[in-house]
């Protein structure tokens, strides 16, 4: 028999529904509802929330209030407020708002990179270098995360070679990224490919490896989380009710549902600090606001098992 795997004692769920989720759907949530979402996610125990993206409002009117949401998130105790920034201009807005972390996405697929960001991957690496210089000159403590997306393949290009993913990850680190992460943007990954690529990425980035981001397009997001969890990865992006998609990936669904991921982790003894009944209540509220939009996830249908104990409540 193979040796038993030890899971990390704790893991962080970063809620990205307000960015990755809302950017892909038609409904534009009013700022007051987004603030209520952030407040109640914080009350339920979430301590990392990606509140939006500093992209021009004409491109993504759904996220036009990102500066206001960031200012609000900064008032909540213990909350790491992060934003996505597509370029230096966005990073300047993130620095002005004193974001705790800014994520610069890079597509390892050249075709997806050109379609989505209008830059080659290496041009994005160069932009990260300029963002690092701006951050250092600003005196802010805002962490810079370089997120390598389409890491397992891409709808436009097809195959994305692991060697290219790792080359770009190393280039981001060399250009000054404080953190790097891997994203299966279109749901092409499976647990075996996750194990292979994450093992190499962890060897390359060490302590600077930050986060796994899995879309549930083909139903494997939680299995992929588990495969990376077994390697010691302890931070995952997730979207409440699994909302989201990708404009360049037909049929793509959102990230792992936050509430299902919290259940997976807590049930397995991995503490998240999240109060699941509160998170499920928030899910009910947010899906009510998003009537008519596709939502995902399983836990909400049947609720928690009667035998469920949160990780913190387990005798250890």
CA distance 256 to 250: 17
Min dist. Cβ of residue 294 to Zn ion (A)? 15
> Of 236-275, which residues contact Zn ion (CB under 5 A)?
none
The stretch among 19-27, 57-65, 87-95, 276-284 that binds Zn ion (CB under 5 A) is 19-27
CA distance 73 to 65: 12
Min dist. Cβ of residue 218 to Zn ion (A)? 14
Please identify which of the residues 80, 154, 211, 246 carries the catalytic annotation.
246
The stretch among 18-26, 28-36, 139-147, 222-230 that binds Zn ion (CB under 5 A) is 18-26
Residue carrying structure tokens 């370089």: 146
The tokens of 222 are what?
A: 């939680």
The stretch among 5-13, 20-28, 170-178, 268-276 that binds Zn ion (CB under 5 A) is 20-28
The stretch among 13-21, 103-111, 161-169, 269-277 that binds Zn ion (CB under 5 A) is 13-21
151's CB contacts (< 8 A; 6+ apart) are: 108, 160, 165, 182, 183, 184, 185, 189, 197
CA distance 302 to 263: 12
Which H or E element spans position 190? none
Secondary structure class of 269 (helix, strand, coil): coil
State which residue, 83 or 276, has the beta carbon closest to Zn ion. 83
State which residue, 20 or 145, has the beta carbon closest to Zn ion. 20
State which residue, 97 or 105, has the beta carbon closest to Zn ion. 105
State which residue, 20 or 100, has the beta carbon closest to Zn ion. 20
Min dist. Cβ of residue 75 to Zn ion (A)? 27
Q: What is the 3-state secondary structure (H, E, C) of 153-185?
A: EECCCECCCHHHHHHHHHHHHHHCCCEEEEEEC
Q: Compute, in degrees rounded to 10, the torsion defined by CA atoms 159, 162, 167, 168.
A: 60
- Of 294, 313, 211, whose CA–CA distance to 22 is shortest? 294
State which residue, 160 or 276, has the beta carbon closest to Zn ion. 160
Min dist. Cβ of residue 245 to Zn ion (A)? 9
State yes or no: residue 216 binds Zn ion (CB under 5 A). Answer: no
211 annotated active-site: no
Residue carrying structure tokens 């998240």: 272
Min dist. Cβ of residue 238 to Zn ion (A)? 10
CA distance 82 to 80: 6
CA distance 38 to 282: 10
Applying CB under 5 A, what is the total number of residues that bind Zn ion? 1
State yes or no: residue 20 binds Zn ion (CB under 5 A). Answer: yes
State yes or no: residue 50 binds Zn ion (CB under 5 A). Answer: no
What residues make contact with Zn ion under the rule CB under 5 A?
A: 20
Catalytic residues: 246
């Amino acid at each position: 028999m193979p040796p038993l795997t030890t899971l990390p004692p704790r893991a962080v769920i970063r809620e990205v529904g307000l960015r990755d989720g809302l950017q892909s759907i038609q409904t534009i949530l009013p700022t007051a509802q987004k603030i209520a979402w952030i407040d109640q996610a914080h009350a339920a125990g979430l301590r990392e929330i990606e509140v939006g993206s500093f992209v021009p409002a004409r491109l993504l009117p759904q996220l036009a209030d990102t500066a206001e949401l960031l200012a609000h998130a900064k008032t909540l105790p213990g909350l790491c407020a992060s934003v996505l920034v597509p370029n230096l201009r966005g990073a300047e807005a993130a620095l002005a708002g004193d974001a705790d972390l800014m994520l610069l996405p890079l597509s390892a697929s050249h075709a997806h990179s050109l379609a989505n960001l209008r830059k080659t991957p290496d041009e994005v690496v160069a932009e990260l270098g300029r963002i690092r210089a701006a951050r250092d000159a600003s005196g802010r403590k805002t962490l810079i995360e370089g997120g390598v997306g389409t890491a397992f393949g891409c709808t436009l290009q097809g195959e994305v070679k692991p060697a290219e993913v790792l080359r770009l990850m190393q280039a981001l680190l060399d250009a000054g990224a404080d953190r790097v992460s891997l994203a299966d943007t279109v749901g092409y990954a499976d647990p075996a490919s996750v194990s292979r690529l994450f093992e190499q990425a962890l060897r390359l980035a060490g302590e600077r490896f930050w986060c796994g981001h899995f879309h549930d397009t083909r139903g494997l997001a939680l299995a992929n989380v588990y495969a990376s969890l077994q390697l010691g990865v302890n931070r995952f992006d997730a979207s409440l009710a699994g909302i989201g998609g990708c404009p360049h990936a037909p049929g793509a669904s959102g990230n792992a549902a936050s509430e299902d991921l919290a259940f997976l982790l807590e049930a397995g003894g991995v503490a998240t600090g999240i109060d699941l009944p509160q998170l499920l209540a928030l899910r009910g509220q947010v899906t009510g606001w998003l009537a008519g939009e596709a939502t995902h996830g399983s836990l909400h249908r049947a609720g928690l098992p009667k035998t469920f104990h949160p990780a913190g409540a387990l005798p250890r």
